[in-house]
Amino acid sequence: MDGNFDAPSVKATVSNYTMNLFASAPLAKKLTISAAYRQTFYNLYSNEKVDFSGNGNNPQSLSNVYIKPDYHFRDANIKLSGKTSKDDTYYISLYGADDRFKFSVRQTDEFDINASEKNRQYGGAASYKRVWENGSATKVVAAFSQFTSLLDNLAIVGNKKPTPDDVSYLDNEVQEFSVKLSHDFYIGSRNKIQLGGEWQQYRVSLNDLRGELEKPTLYINDNILLGKLSLNAGVRVDMPLNKKVYVQPRLSGTYKISEEVAATASWGLYNQFLTRTAYQYDESGFQTVWTMADSTFTKAMHTTVGIAYSKNSLLVSLEGYYKKTNNSQYFLENTLYKIDNTIIGADLFLKKQIRNHTLYGSYSINRLSKPQNELSHEIKVGGIGAFDPFYFSLSYVYGSGFAYISTGGHGHGQGNGQGQQHGSKHKHTDSSDASYSRFDISATYRTQIKKVRLQAGVSLLNLFDTKNIKYNYQVSDQNSATNIFTKATPFTPTVFLEIIL
């Protein structure tokens, strides 16, 4: 997000759900300041309640409740950018974000559940890039970020007064500080090499637990041009202090078979040192938290192969991938698995330009080996019609659903009502084979009045209000059970106006 060095500019987008503001102004000939702000003033989820009884084979009464959480989000960014007389560039950037999620649901003499989550993030970065007379460049970047998540959860089953044992509290904080130095230079006309080094420091806390890791890194990349073949070969070496050295070679390439057809391939090893981990905060649920990986850091090997065809405004691409992961964490029916996994999949993409109009579609398929052998599909289709000054778009997505959830979500996964029993009162489910789908349409009008550009429109998200379940919490006893759902995006009409000065 760089500002305009020539003149002040303002961009404002306001709808009945969100507000986005951006402004920039030159402070001097080669110095500019820019700022952006976003805020929601709506709830993400609709509110509805559906009750029904079990069938004759199941005497237990079952009710579904779709809750309406209270949700707020906002973030802001400010950036000072500059140039020197020798085409060097620099910037200083600050960022802050805040979001809050809260809900409560109660049934007299049966249960009382209250949950809230507050997240706050802020950070800053400073950079200077030096361009040398021979065309090489040196860049240094220093950055700091911190994320804090506070979770309160109160769950009472039955008619009783709350006790301290009914309240779960999590205070999760993660910090990262890094300094990175890189240098790009050319060897002849066929090789561009990048050398770099980085020092990263992680600090993580979870309630009273503390962890810290310092990690120096060295890397080198070589971009090579060999006629129709272009290669990128490199290696990254992570050296966390007092631990083993992790060498991660990587290679990718593109071969131009003809003017219309190109083939691609890539392979690499990757390690992850800061991870999201499923944490059981009470007997009835999990919450994913940031933690420092132990001595067995998450490791992955990625291999991809693809081919693409492009001619007469038609693009067709097909890519297959094979991934092996070690020390991954998966969460299935309130059980945490630390496993090695294999993922095989393919993505097909098509795009056709017809004059000013665009049609596109994609199909994805993948298979995972663990924690259970699972095959999933997803298809997307859409189009954009340009009838200047009017523009129309539509999109549809359908997916087969997943029978697992991988270290995700606020405690309670996706569900079909058949989960792991916890005592006589609590039951959670964290798997779902239910499909999901969503159909969106929009219409936009664009015009320009002198130097002011205007854009106005309307969009309908999830037009058919498909109940795509996001989280499920179930409370039950011997005679009744209640599923408490929050949905992914419900039917959402929006009207917006954008002004660019």
> Which is more confident, 31 or 487?
31
Instruction: State both tokens at 204.
Output: 């993580």
How much is the CA Rg of the chain, to the nearest whole Å?
26
**Per-residue pLDDT tens digits for 192-221:** 999 999 999 999 988 888 888 999 999 999
Please provide residue 96's backbone torsions phi and psi, each rounded to the nearest 5 degrees.
-145, 145
**Per-residue pLDDT tens digits for 258-301:** 999 999 999 999 998 888 776 665 555 566 778 776 656 788 99
Average the pLDDT over each of 33-37, 110-114, 331-335, 340-344 and give the range with the smallest value: 331-335
3-state secondary structure of 262: strand
- Distance, in Å, from the CA atom of 211 to the CA atom of 113, rounded to the nearest integer, reads 32
> Which is more confident, 129 or 492?
129
**Per-residue pLDDT tens digits for 49-68:** 433 334 444 444 445 555 56
Average the pLDDT over each of 171-175, 190-194, 327-331 and give the range with the smallest value: 327-331
Would you place residue 484 in the very low, low, confident or very high pLDDT band (cuts 50, 70, 90)? low
Instruction: State both tokens at 40.
Output: 């929601």
**Does 159 have pLDDT greater than 70?**
no
- The full DSSP string for 274-339 is EEEEEEEEETTEEEEEEEE--SS-EEEEEEEEEEEEEETTEEEEEEEEEEEEEEEEEEETTEEEEE
pLDDT (mean) for 106-123: 76
Q: Write down the mean pLDDT value for the chain.
A: 80
**Does 156 have pLDDT greater than 90?**
no
- What percentage of the chain carries pLDDT values higher than 70? 73
Contacts of 384 (CB under 8 A, 6+ apart): 357, 358, 391, 392, 393
**pLDDT at site 318:** 97
Work out whether strand 314-332 and strand 9-15 pair parallel, antiparallel, or are unpaired: unpaired
Average the pLDDT over each of 67-81, 267-281, 476-490 and give the range with the smallest value: 476-490
**pLDDT at site 74:** 93
- Distance, in Å, from the CA atom of 370 to the CA atom of 340, rounded to the nearest integer, reads 8
pTM: predicted TM-score of the whole model, two decimal places: 0.78
Domains, the chain, with CATH or none: 84-256 (2.40.170.20), 263-434 (no CATH)
> Which is more confident, 103 or 143?
143
**pLDDT at site 409:** 36
Contacts of 179 (CB under 8 A, 6+ apart): 140, 141, 142, 198, 199
| CA torsion, ordered 277, 283, 284, 285, to nearest 10 deg | -10
**pLDDT at site 116:** 79
**Per-residue pLDDT tens digits for 380-433:** 999 999 999 999 999 999 998 654 444 333 333 333 333 333 333 444 343 445
pLDDT (mean) for 353-379: 88
